[in-house]
C-alpha cells in the first residue's frame, strides 16, 4: 500500500453521541472538544457560514428545538440534530457531513477546498460496513483527505491505557459497551452493548428534580452529585446534596436520586429498561466468559474504563464489586478506586481520542490506512476500507510482537 506524502501527521476524530473530539496525531489532547449537534431545518439554509452555526450551537440547549434570527430579522425555526444517536452514525441526511465540515473549518480552523491530510476515525464497536464505506467516500470526495483509517474506539481506549489485551467497558452518553480485546483485536462474538448510558442518567435526574431546568443544567448537576453507590435501601443515599445554580439559587438533590440515576446502569430491569445481557456488571462477566478460557484471567486483570460516564464518583469501585461476584480469581479495574494509574484517571472521556492520537503517530498508521491513491486505483470504491482494516489489524499485531 502506498504511503502518504504528509509530514504533518494525521487528524484524529472521535464523534460520539454527545460530543466530538478532534485534533492532531501525536498530541496529548484533542484541540477541539464540543457538542456533536447541528442545526437543521430552515435555518440550515442560511448556516453555510459555519461560524454562525457554532455560535448558535453554543448558545442554545443541546436537546431542545429553538428559534434564531435569520438575515431578514425574522425568527426562523431551528431544530438541533445529533449525527450520532446511541453510538450509531445517522447518515439519513447531511448532519454528519455538516458536523465534519464544522470540525475542520471552524473548530480546527483549517478550511480549504482540499484538506490533503490523512484522517483517523474512531468508530463505535459494531459499526457496520455500509456506514464505514459512506464515511470513507465522504472524506475522500467532499473533504479531499489524503488517507482514511477507521479504528475501534474500545481498542483505542485500551491503547491509551498502555495495553493491547484487556476488556474495555465504554460508557459514553448514548451507549454502554463491553469489548474484549486480544493483541489489538476486538473479539466481536463477545462484544455486548446496551442503549443506556450518560444521557439516561441525566434524564433520570431531570425527572426527579423539582425544578424546571435545561438538559445542560441537569448535566452539570449530575457531574457534581451523581454517585455509583449501591442502592441498599438505607445509608448514604438518603443524604441530600446541595447544588448552587449560576443565579445563586440552591437546590437540594435527594441522595436516593443521586445514586438511583446511576444504579439503573447496573440494574436496568429494576428501572424498566430493556437490557438483554443485564447491567454493566453482568455484561462484563458474561462477555469475559464468552472468551477463550486461557485469555480470561488476563481480561479479569485488565478491565479498562472508558467514556465520560465512568467519571462518576465511585464508578470504578462499583464495577469491581459487581464483577467480583461473577468471575473467579483476581480482578483489576483501571483506573481503580485508589488511583493507581492516575494518568489514565483523568483521560477517560477522551481515551479513544488519545489512543487514536498514539496509533496515528506510529509508522504502522500508513500501512493500515487507505490512501487517496489506493482509493482511486480501486475506481473510487469505498469498500477498499474494509480490506485495509483487516490488513491493518495484522500489521498492528505484528508490530506489537516486534
Positions that interact with ligand ATP (CB under 6 A): 16-19, 84, 87, 172-175, 197-199, 219, 222-223, 226, 307-309, 311-312, 349
**Residue 138 or residue 312: which is nearer to ligand ATP going by CB?**
312
**Residue 62 or residue 331: which is nearer to ligand ATP going by CB?**
62
Residue with cell 450551537: 57
Among candidate residues 104, 102, 86, 91, the one with its CA nearest the CA of residue 137: 91
Alpha-carbon torsion, ordered 372, 375, 376, 382, to 10 deg: -130
For residue 106, give the DSSP letter: I
Q: What gap in Å lies between CA 163 and CA 341, rounded to an integer?
A: 13
Q: How far is CA 150 from CA 122, 362, 371, in A?
A: 6, 15, 12
**Residue 227 or residue 366: which is nearer to ligand ATP going by CB?**
227
> Shortest distance, CB of residue 352 to ligand ATP, whole angstroms?
8
> Shortest distance, CB of residue 186 to ligand ATP, whole angstroms?
15
For residue 196, give the DSSP letter: -
> Shortest distance, CB of residue 223 to ligand ATP, whole angstroms?
4
Residue with cell 462484544: 191
> Shortest distance, CB of residue 113 to ligand ATP, whole angstroms?
30
Count of beta carbons in the 10 Å neighbourhood of residue 297: 15
> Shortest distance, CB of residue 317 to ligand ATP, whole angstroms?
15
21: β partners: 14, 33
**Residue 231 or residue 311: which is nearer to ligand ATP going by CB?**
311
Among candidate residues 1, 24, 3, 33, the one with its CA nearest the CA of residue 119: 24
- The answer to whether 14 and 122 are in contact (CB under 8 A) is yes
Q: What gap in Å lies between CA 102 and CA 94, rounded to an integer?
A: 12
**Residue 295 or residue 311: which is nearer to ligand ATP going by CB?**
311
Name the residue number minimizing CB distance to ligand ATP.
Answer: 16
**Residue 223 or residue 324: which is nearer to ligand ATP going by CB?**
223
**Residue 349 or residue 369: which is nearer to ligand ATP going by CB?**
349
Q: Quick check: helix, strand or coil at residue 179?
A: strand
> Shortest distance, CB of residue 369 to ligand ATP, whole angstroms?
23
> Shortest distance, CB of residue 112 to ligand ATP, whole angstroms?
27
Amino acid at each position: 500500500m502506498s504511503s502518504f506524502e504528509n509530514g504533518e501527521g494525521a487528524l484524529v476524530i472521535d464523534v460520539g453521541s454527545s460530543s466530538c473530539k478532534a485534533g492532531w496525531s501525536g498530541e496529548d489532547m484533542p484541540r477541539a472538544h464540543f457538542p456533536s449537534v447541528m442545526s437543521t431545518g430552515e435555518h440550515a439554509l442560511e448556516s453555510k457560514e459555519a461560524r454562525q452555526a457554532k455560535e448558535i450551537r453554543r448558545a442554545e440547549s443541546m436537546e431542545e428545538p429553538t428559534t434564531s434570527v435569520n438575515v431578514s430579522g425574522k425568527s426562523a425555526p431551528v431544530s438541533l440534530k445529533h449525527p450520532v444517536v446511541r453510538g450509531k452514525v445517522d447518515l439519513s441526511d447531511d448532519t454528519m457531513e455538516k458536523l465534519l465540515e464544522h470540525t475542520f473549518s471552524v473548530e480546527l480552523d483549517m478550511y480549504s477546498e482540499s484538506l490533503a491530510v490523512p484522517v483517523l476515525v474512531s468508530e463505535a464497536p459494531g459499526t457496520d460496513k455500509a456506514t464505514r464505506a459512506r464515511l470513507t467516500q465522504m472524506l475522500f470526495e467532499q473533504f479531499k483527505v489524503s488517507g482514511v483509517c477507521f479504528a475501534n474506539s474500545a481498542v483505542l481506549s485500551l491503547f491509551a491505557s498502555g495495553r493491547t489485551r484487556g476488556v474495555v467497558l465504554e460508557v459514553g452518553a448514548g451507549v454502554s459497551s463491553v469489548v474484549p480485546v486480544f493483541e489489538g483485536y476486538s473479539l466481536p462474538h463477545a462484544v455486548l452493548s446496551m442503549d443506556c448510558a450518560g444521557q439516561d442518567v441525566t434524564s433520570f435526574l431531570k425527572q426527579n428534580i423539582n425544578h424546571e431546568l435545561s438538559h445542560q443544567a441537569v448535566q452539570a448537576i449530575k457531574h457534581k452529585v451523581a454517585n455509583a453507590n449501591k442502592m441498599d435501601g438505607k445509608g448514604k443515599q438518603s443524604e441530600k446534596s446541595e447544588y448552587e445554580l449560576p443565579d445563586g439559587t440552591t437546590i437540594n438533590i435527594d441522595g436516593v436520586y443521586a445514586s438511583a440515576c446511576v444504579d439503573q446502569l447496573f440494574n436496568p430491569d429494576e428501572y424498566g429498561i430493556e437490557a438483554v445481557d443485564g447491567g454493566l456488571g453482568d455484561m462484563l462477566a458474561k462477555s469475559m466468559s464468552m472468551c477463550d478460557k486461557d485469555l480470561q484471567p488476563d481480561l479479569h486483570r485488565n478491565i479498562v474504563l472508558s467514556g465520560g460516564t465512568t467519571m462518576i464518583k465511585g464508578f470504578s469501585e462499583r464495577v469491581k464489586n459487581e464483577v467480583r461476584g461473577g468471575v473467579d480469581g483476581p480482578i483489576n479495574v483501571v483506573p481503580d478506586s485508589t488511583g493507581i494509574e492516575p494518568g489514565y484517571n483523568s483521560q477517560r472521556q477522551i481515551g479513544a481520542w488519545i489512543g487514536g492520537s498514539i496509533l496515528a503517530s506510529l509508522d504502522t498508521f500508513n500501512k493500515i490506512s487507505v490512501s487517496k491513491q489506493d482509493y482511486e486505483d480501486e475506481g473510487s470504491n469505498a469498500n477498499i476500507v474494509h480490506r485495509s482494516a483487516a490488513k491493518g489489524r495484522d500489521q498492528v499485531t505484528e508490530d506489537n510482537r516486534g
